[in-house]
Structure 1
Amino acid sequence: MNENVKVVFGLLGGFALFLYGMNSMSDALQKAAGEKMKKILEILTKNPIMGALAGALVTAVLQSSSATTVMVIGFVSAGLMTLPQGISVIFGANIGTTMTAQLMAFKISDYIYPLIFIGFIINFVCKQEKVKQVGRVIFSFGLLFEGIEIMGSVMKPLATSPIFIDLMGKVKDIPVLGVLLGCVMTLVVQSSSATIAVLQNFASQAGPDGVTSVIGLGGAIPILFGDNIGTTITALLASIGQSKNAKRTAVAHSVFNITGSIVFMFLIPVLSKFVRYISPKGNEVDVISRQIANAHTTFNIVCTLVWLPLIPVMVKIVKFIVRGDDAKEKAVFTAKYLDDKLINQPTAALYLVSEEIKRSASYAAEAFSYLKAAVTAKKDGVAGRKFNEYSEYVKVLQESISTYISKMFSSGNLTELQSEQTAGLLCVSNNIERIAERCDEIDKSYENLKSKGYKLSNEAINEVKECMELSGKLFEEAIEAVATGDDKVIDKMTRDKNKIRKINRQCSKAHFGRVKNKKCSKAMSGDYTEILQNIGRITDNCVGIAEEALDNIKFMTLNAEEMEQYGNVIDFSQAKQVEGTEA
Structure 2
Amino acid sequence: MNSIAVILQLAGAVALLLFGLGLVRDGMLEAFGLRLKMILGFGTRSQPRAFGSGLLATLGLQSSTATALLTASFVDRQMIGGRMAQIVLLGANVGTALTAVLVSIQIEAVAPALMLLGYVLRKRGNVLAAGIGGALIGVGLMLVSLALLEHATLPMRDSPLLAAFLPMLDNAWPVALLMAAGIAVVCSSSLAAVLLIASIPLPPELTMVLVLGANLGGAVSPVLASAGLGAVARRVAVGNLLVRGIGCLVALPLVATLAPLLAGLPTHLTGLAVEGHLAFNLALAALIWPLNGAIGAVVERILPDDPPVTTARRNWLDDTVLDAPLLALSGASREVLAIGDKVERMLSQTRTAFARDDTSPLAEVAEIEDQIDTRQQEVKNYLSRLTGDASEDDRRRAIDILDYVINLEHIGDIIDKGLGPEVRKKIGLGLRFSDEGYQELERLFLVTQEALRMAQTVFMTRDHDMARRLMELKIEIRKLERQSAQRHLIRLREGQTESRETSSLHLDILRDLKRINAHAVSVAHPILDEQGLLVESRLRAAPRAAHKE
TM-score normalised by structure 2 residue count: 0.62
**Per the alignment, in what secondary structure is the counterpart of residue 267 of structure 2?**
coil
Measured after TM superposition, the shift of residue 180 of structure 1 is 1.3
Write the letter of the residue equivalent to 1:17: L
Residue identity in the other structure for 1:326: D
String of CA shifts for 1:87-135, please: whole Å, max 9, x gaps.
11122111111122112321123332233223223323x2322122222
* AA aligned opposite 1:75: F
Identify which of 451, 467, 473 aligns with 1:421: 473
Q: Unmatched 5+ residue regions in structure 1?
A: 203-213, 282-286, 335-351, 371-384, 426-476, 486-541, 552-583
**Equivalence for 1:310:** 291
RMSD: 4.2
Q: Deviations over 1:445-475 (max 9, x none)?
A: xxxxxxxxxxxxxxxxxxxxxxxxxxxxxxx
Pick aligned residue for 1:358 from 325, 340, 347: 347
Q: Distance in 1 between matches of 2:34 and 2:190?
A: 25
Q: Which residue of 2 aligns with 1:326?
A: 306
The alpha-carbon deviation at position 189 of structure 1 amounts to 1.7
Give 1:482 deviation, angstroms: 5.1
Instruction: Give distance in 1, aligned partners of 2:372 and 2:93.
Output: 48
Task: Report the AA paired with residue 327 of structure 1.
Answer: P
CA deviation map 1:68-99 (0-9, x unaligned): 10111111122222211221112211111112
| Match of residue 133 from structure 1 | 131
Amino acid at match of 2:307: A
Against the structure 1 CA distance between its residues 364 and 90, is the aligned structure 2 distance closer, same or farther, given a 3 Å change threshold? closer
- How many residues are aligned here? 392
What is residue 266 of structure 1 aligned with on the other side? 253
Give the match for residue 273 of structure 2. 292
- C-alpha distance after superposition, 1:552-576 (max 9, x if no partner): xxxxxxxxxxxxxxxxxxxxxxxxx
Partner of 2:103: 104
1:296-445 alignment, distance < 5 Å: 296-322=277-303, 324-328=304-308, 355-356=344-345, 358=347, 366=366, 388=374, 403-406=456-459, 410=463, 417-418=469-470, 420-421=472-473
| Distance (Å, rounded) in 2 between the aligned partners of 1:327 and 1:276 | 51
Structure 1's 51 and 411: CA in aligned 2 closer, same or farther, altered over 3 A?
farther
2:202 corresponds, among 215, 218, 222, to 215
* 1:182 lines up with 2:163 in the alignment: no
Deviations 1:43-67 (A, max 9, x none): 4345323212211111111111111
Letter in 1 for 2:74: F
> What do the CA deviations read for 1:471-490 (whole angstroms, capped 9, x no partner)?
xxxxxx998535157xxxxx
Are 2:101 and 1:114 equivalent residues in the alignment? no
Greater Cα offset, 309-318 or 38-47: 38-47
1:6 equivalent to 2:36? Answer no
Greater RCO (Cα-Cα under 8 Å, separation 6 or more): 1
Percent identical: 20
Alpha-carbon distance between aligned partners in 1 of 2:115 and 2:91, rounded to the nearest angstrom: 31
Residue 136 of structure 1 aligns with an amino acid whose one-letter code is: G
Tell me which residue corresponds to 1:483.
Answer: 513
| Cα distance in structure 2, aligned partners of 1:35 and 1:386 | 28
User: What is the CA–CA distance in structure 2 between the aligned matches of 1:255 and 1:544, rounded to whole Å?
Assistant: 43
- Alpha-carbon distance in structure 2 between the residues aligned to 1:178 and 1:294: 19
User: Partners in 2 of 1:116 and 1:267 — Cα distance?
Assistant: 42
Letter in 2 for 1:61: G
- Look up the match of 2:85: 86
Q: Deviations over 1:410-449 (max 9, x none)?
A: 597x595445438999xxxxxxxxxxxxxxxxxxxxxxxx
Determine if the alignment matches structure 1 residue 275 to structure 2 residue 262: yes
1:9-48 alignment, distance < 5 Å: 9-48=8-47
Larger Rg: 1
- 1:197 aligned residue: 195
Aligned residue identity for 2:190? S
Compute the displacement of 1:201 (Å): 1.1
Structure 2 CA distance for partners of 1:354 and 1:13, relative to 1, 3 Å = farther
| CA displacement at 1:325 relative to structure 2 | 2.4
Partners in 2 of 1:30 and 1:220 — Cα distance? 33
Q: Please report how far the alpha carbon of residue 272 of structure 1 lies from its aligned counterpart in structure 2 after TM superposition.
A: 2.0
CA contact (8 A) 1:366 1:387 kept: no
Once residues 260 and 319 of structure 1 are traced to their aligned partners in structure 2, the CA distance between those partners, rounded to angstroms, is: 20
Counterpart residue identity of residue 138, structure 1: L
**The residue matched to 1:267 in structure 2 has which SS?**
helix
86-95 vs 250-259, which moves further:
86-95
Cα distance in 2 between the residues matched to 1:484 and 1:543:
5
Three-state SS of the structure 2 residue aligned to 1:80 is coil
2:77–2:348 contact (8 Å) kept in structure 1: no
Structure 1 distance, partners of 2:188, 2:77, is: 25
CA distance in 1, matches of 2:378, 2:227: 29
Going from structure 1 to structure 2, the CA distance change for 1:152 and 1:325 (only over 3 Å counts) comes to same
Q: Residue 167 of structure 1 is aligned with which of 146, 161, 165?
A: 165
- 2:55/2:92 contact within 8 Å kept: yes
Alignment pair present for 1:68 and 2:48:
no
Cα distance between partner residues in 1 of 2:141 and 2:102: 13
